Amino acid sequence: MAAMAGVSCSSSSTLSTLRKSFTSNSPIFPSFHSLLPQIPKPLSLKTVNPNFKPFLPRRFSSAVSATVDSAEVRQSLKTRLKNGETLYGIFLLGFSPTLAEIAGLAGYDFAVVDMEHGHGGISDALPCLHALAATQTPAILRIPESSATWAKKALDLGPQGIMFPMIDGPKSARKAVSYCRFPPNGVRGSAHTVVRASSYGIDEGYLSNYEDDLLIMCQVECVDGVKKIDEIAAVEGVDCIQMGPLDLSASLGYLWDPGNKKVKEMMNTAEKGVLKKKPHDGGAYLSGFAMPHDSPENLKSRGYHMVSGAVDIVLFRNAAVEDVKKFKMSLAKGFEDDDDQKDHKDGEEKYWSE
């Protein structure tokens, strides 16, 4: 036992010596902390984006009121719309979490993860929602079709908004709303105790507030839909009408000419149909895409409440094409400069040879 005690004391002494050596500043044993890389203090989100404010759902407000200044909590999309703000967003079709995060840091008010025309589905959308959540940017999911199954899977991910395509009348609009609500008010399947929307069951107030927090958007993009757009906007639960200019131009026979006069007239008719009744009087907000012939500023001036002015793939495509074009032009210019210098040199040689 004594021998074992001696070993124990010796081990303890050795550990103590090592500990002192690693924290000393001697040339033989430099400070352990000095071996660590010096990591610069990271930029805060407020430094990158001065308008950044974290978003916290209404149901979490009381829980964090003691630690988070209420003035610094970002309001939900529905609250900001009710306050009269015009919101500017981006569509994400590439399903890149990195681009989603950059979009959030850039300061977009919302981002639409597009499962209708983008290649991805639910499992591809989730990482983008994670990236957007990291920047506290509200996410809207556009589903491929207006169905209970797609709506259920999308809503379980917990987006702030959901967009239903090809809504052509009040009947299809009422169905869309029913897909977003649990029985008896709707037909949405329930797994609220385990899905992301309820913070995997941690958020005990989810069922009490989910309807208030969710922005339901119905996309009108055909002639029949425009004819009934005021009825669609008046459906209880429909918060916003999203215009679809490309599909609308196709339904009019002008697929390759969305800027056609007849398409513009139909768009104006649709816009007036939505705007003639205020949202707080039973109407809906108006949302739309910017087009080459119809800028974000033009949409805002016509009364749009939500404007999508960019698409991740288009931004990258334009930047890539311009980058290659710039380099190719520099090469061509370089060849011209070389020819000019050669002609100039030949001229000089001829001059001196004379």
Please, what is the Cα angle at 80 between 132 and 153, to 5 degrees? Answer: 45
Q: What is the DSSP letter of 55?
A: B
Please, what is the Cα angle at 123 between 122 and 127, to 5 degrees? Answer: 105
| Token pair belonging to 102 | 């950059």
Q: Which amino acid is at 136?
A: Q
Catalytic residue among 117, 119, 293, 344: 117
The set of long-range contacts for 71-78, using a CB threshold of 8 Å and a minimum separation of 24, is: 74/136, 76/138, 76/160, 76/213, 77/109, 77/110, 77/138, 77/140, 77/160, 77/161, 77/215, 78/212, 78/213, 78/214, 78/215, 78/239
| Token pair belonging to 327 | 């380099």
Q: What is the DSSP letter of 20?
A: H
Q: Is 293 an annotated catalytic residue? A: no
Q: How far apart are CA 286 and CA 275, in angstroms?
A: 7
| Token pair belonging to 188 | 């949405």
208 burial level (CB within 10 Å; 0-12, 13-18, 19+): exposed
115 burial level (CB within 10 Å; 0-12, 13-18, 19+): buried
Residues with catalytic function: 117
